[in-house]
A and B are shown apart, each in its own frame.
Chain A
Amino acid sequence: NAGVMQNPRHLVRRRGQEARLRCSPMKGHSHVYWYRQLPEEGLKFMVYLQKENIIDESGMPKERFSAEFPKEGPSILRIQQVVRGDSAAYFCASSPRAAQETQYFGPGTRLLVL
C-alpha cells in the first residue's frame, strides 16, 4: 500500500525558470493539500484540491504559483519564474474522503533556486 508519492525529491532551478512539482496521493484518497516549509519555520498551508477542482488556494501567492489536480494523473504545483525566496521544501498531503480526515504527508520536494 504505497503512501503519498512526490517527485522529484530534489529540484534545482535558476532564477526565472519554471519548477513543476508532482504529487500522487495515497490510493483511494481524493483530497490533496500542498504545504511549504521554509528553514526554521513550520509547514504553511498553500492550497487544497479535489479532483479537477481547486477548493481553497488562500495560502498560495497570487502570482507565479498555480496548482491543479486533473482527472487523470498526479497533482501538480507549478512555480513560474522562480526566485531565490521560493527555495523551500514543498510537501503534499492527502486524505481519504472528507476534508476533516487525517492528512498523510509525502516525502517532499526540496527546491533550490540558484
Chain B
Amino acid sequence: QKEVEQDPGPLSVPEGAIVSLNCTYSNSAFQYFMWYRQYSRKGPELLMYTYSSGNKEDGRFTAQVDKSSKYISLFIRDSQPSDSATYLCAMSDSGTYKYIFGTGTRLKVLA
C-alpha cells in the first residue's frame, strides 16, 4: 500500500464547475499538507500549504485536511480552462523535509 493514494483521473468538468480533488494517506505522523499544480512538461507550482487539520482558502482554492480520516481535499470554484493541469498532493511529518507525493490527478476543464 502506498503512503499517499491519489486517483490519477483524468477528471473532466465543464467550465464554471466546482472541482473536488482528494488524497488519502496512511501515516498518521503527517502534519504538513501541500497541493501543487503541474502543467504538462513543467515543474510543480505550489498552490496551498496547510498545517494540521482545518480549512484554508485562497481565492478560488480551498484546502481541507481531516486528520481523523487521513483525507485531504482541494476544491476549485468557478473552474477555468486554464486550471487544466495535474494536481499533486504532498505531505510530510513534523521536522522532516521529505515530501511524500501522490501520483497526481489530471484535470481537464472544458470550455
Contact = CB atoms under 8 A, between A and B. Distances in A.
Interface of A: 4, 6, 31, 33, 35, 40-45, 48, 56, 59, 91, 95, 99-100, 102-108, 110
Nearest to B49: A102
Given A31-B97, A41-B103, 8 more contacts: A4-B43, A33-B97, A42-B4, A43-B44, A48-B98, A99-B97, A103-B46, A108-B43
Contacts of B36: 105
Interface residues of B, number: 27
Interface of B: 4, 6, 8, 32, 34, 36, 41-46, 49, 88, 90, 92, 94-104
Contacts of A45: 98-100
Contact of A100 (B41, B88, B95): B95
